[in-house]
């Protein structure tokens, strides 16, 4: 389902890094995200709500762009 907030996301299982690309152009990497959390976000009806509830504030992050 398209998101109004998240443009794309990519997951690197080797480093457990979840990259979120926002529609605004900002890019963030979230570290040490378990594969199950990524899978749940991928399947979430609202990517933005899932991100806010289960990822932001729970995993270390790095702002890559924006």
Check residues 57 and 66 and name the one with the higher pLDDT. Answer: 57
Write out the H or E segment, with its range, that includes residue 64: strand 61-65
Tens digit of pLDDT for each residue in 12-52? 999 999 999 999 999 999 999 999 999 999 999 999 999 99
Q: Could you tell me the end-to-end alpha-carbon distance of the chain, in angstroms, rounded to an integer?
A: 24
What is the pLDDT confidence band of residue 64, given thresholds at 50, 70 and 90?
very high
Extents of the domains making up the chain: 6-65
Does residue 2 carry a pLDDT above 90? Answer: no
Label residue 48 exposed, middle or buried (CB < 10 Å: 0-12, 13-18, 19+).
middle
């Amino acid at each position: 389902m398209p998101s109004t907030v998240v443009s794309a996301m990519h997951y690197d299982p080797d480093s457990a890094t979840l990259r979120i690309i926002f529609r605004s152009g900002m890019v963030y990497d979230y570290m040490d995200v378990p594969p199950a959390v990524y899978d749940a976000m991928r399947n979430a009806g609202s990517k933005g709500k899932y991100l806010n509830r289960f990822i932001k504030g729970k995993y270390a992050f790095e702002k890559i762009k924006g």
